[in-house]
Homo-oligomer: A and B are copies of this chain.
Amino acid sequence: MVKVGIVGGTGYTGVELLRLLAAHPEVELALITSRSEAGLPVAEMFPNLRGHVDLAFSAPDAAALAACDVVFFATPNGVAMQSVPELLESGVKVIDLAADFRLKDADEWAQWYGQPHACPELLGEAVYGLPEVNRAAIKQARLIANPGCYPTAVQLGLLPLLEAGLVDAGRLVADCKSGVSGAGRKASVATLLCETSESFKAYAVPGHRHLPEIRQGLNRTIGGEVGLTFVPHLTPMLRGIHATLYANLSNAATKTDLQALFQQRYADEPFVDVLPAGSHPETRSVKGANTCRIAIHRPQGGDTLVVLSVIDNLVKGAAGQAVQNMNILCGLPETAGLEGIALVP
């Protein structure tokens, strides 16, 4: 059994992580800390966990965390980096679901997150936890930067094309739509039901924090600089991300069997499902599941390729991917605890 601790965990990523870990056959959930909620039984905050999670939130306790095999941080950005160095020294493996270790460049991190990085020396070591790209490195890692939700959906949709050099990497468009749970569980007018239901809007068009993360991943793939326009939108639903990706095909690409390319790229991936040609994936087909479903289209046989990529932002886009990383890290079967089927309707 893997002894697991969670720091934070009062948000939507947290409750989803608890749902997955409580049912994981190889996990012993040892503690979950929350400064603000210390003493409160977890199942009182999240009644869906009644009968499944008996823990109460506890005050942060370095020794108790140090006694874990793996510690997940489900905290706001900027929290994990304060205590990760100490935890690593005590031999614990860390998976950060926030953004603290996602960018390699400390200056860029500081610019997008509005504060200096507390341990820039770890940015190089941290492994970006996208198993479909970094599985070998994850196996050896001490510190995993769990990818953002948009970056997961966008990178999985574009990687086969960029790896094969089949599209104009200088002019990519990622038009992304997210359910409201992506905005987190905090008191706020902007994400009230009465502000977000029955409406749809783009946000952060001038620049969203996931932009540098996506760019970094795509740049690494091509060994150069991509040109990417990324527009996120808020969608009136709880869960789900739909990335609609546009890329201009090179001449070579127009003769390539792109459906086969995607199927081969992901043939051995347990959590990426390339749909038959002509499909339109629905976000609900992955609701609660750790799956990314992808379909590709070339409308009217032109030279613009359209890739449709859907995930559940709280699962493959957060907690599920974190558990997948833990499984790899700990030598467990990669799908352990992640075989739940999406809930439809």
Chain A positions near chain B (C-beta within 8 angstroms): 12, 15, 19, 22-23, 46-52, 171, 173, 175, 177, 179-181, 185-189, 191-203, 205-207, 227, 229-231, 233, 235-240, 242, 244, 246, 248, 273, 275, 278, 280-289, 291, 293, 297, 299-300, 302, 304, 306, 308, 310, 339-345
Taken together, the copies of this chain in the complex come to 4
The one of B185, B237, B302 that contacts A199, using a Cβ cutoff of 8 Å: B237
Residue of B with least CB distance to A198: B237
Residue of B with least CB distance to A279: B47
Tell me the minimal C-beta distance from A135 to chain B in angstroms. Answer: 19
Residue of B with least CB distance to A18: B341
Q: Return chain B residues, CB-CB under 8 Å to A205.
A: 280, 297, 299, 306, 308
Q: Are B343 and A287 in contact (CB under 8 A)?
A: yes
Q: Return chain B residues, CB-CB under 8 Å to A187.
A: 187-189
Q: Are B236 and A193 in contact (CB under 8 A)?
A: yes
Q: Return chain B residues, CB-CB under 8 Å to A291.
A: 51
Q: Are B48 and A202 in contact (CB under 8 A)?
A: no
Q: In the docked arrangement, what's the CA distance between A190 and B280, Å?
A: 13
Q: Are A340 and B12 in contact (CB under 8 A)?
A: no
Q: Return chain B residues, CB-CB under 8 Å to A227.
A: 302
Q: Are B171 and A47 in contact (CB under 8 A)?
A: no
Q: Are B12 and A233 in contact (CB under 8 A)?
A: no
Q: Are B340 and A194 in contact (CB under 8 A)?
A: no
Q: Return chain B residues, CB-CB under 8 Å to A280.
A: 201-203, 205
Q: Are A282 and B341 in contact (CB under 8 A)?
A: no
The one of B177, B194, B233 that contacts A185, using a Cβ cutoff of 8 Å: B194
Q: Return chain B residues, CB-CB under 8 Å to A22.
A: 341
Q: Are A339 and B308 in contact (CB under 8 A)?
A: no
Tell me the minimal C-beta distance from A207 to chain B in angstroms. Answer: 6
Q: In the docked arrangement, what's the CA distance between A244 and B229, Å?
A: 12
Q: Are A273 and B344 in contact (CB under 8 A)?
A: no
Q: Return chain B residues, CB-CB under 8 Å to A52.
A: 341
Q: Are B235 and A195 in contact (CB under 8 A)?
A: no
Tell me the minimal C-beta distance from A134 to chain B in angstroms. Answer: 23
Q: Are A344 and B193 in contact (CB under 8 A)?
A: no
The one of B46, B50, B283 that contacts A273, using a Cβ cutoff of 8 Å: B50
Q: Return chain B residues, CB-CB under 8 Å to A287.
A: 48, 198-199, 343
Tell me the minimal C-beta distance from A231 to chain B in angstroms. Answer: 6
Residue of B with least CB distance to A189: B187
Please name 6 pairs of A and B residues whose Cβ atoms are closer than 8 Å in the assembled complex, sorted by A. A171-B304, A198-B237, A200-B235, A200-B237, A205-B299, A233-B242
Residue of B with least CB distance to A236: B237
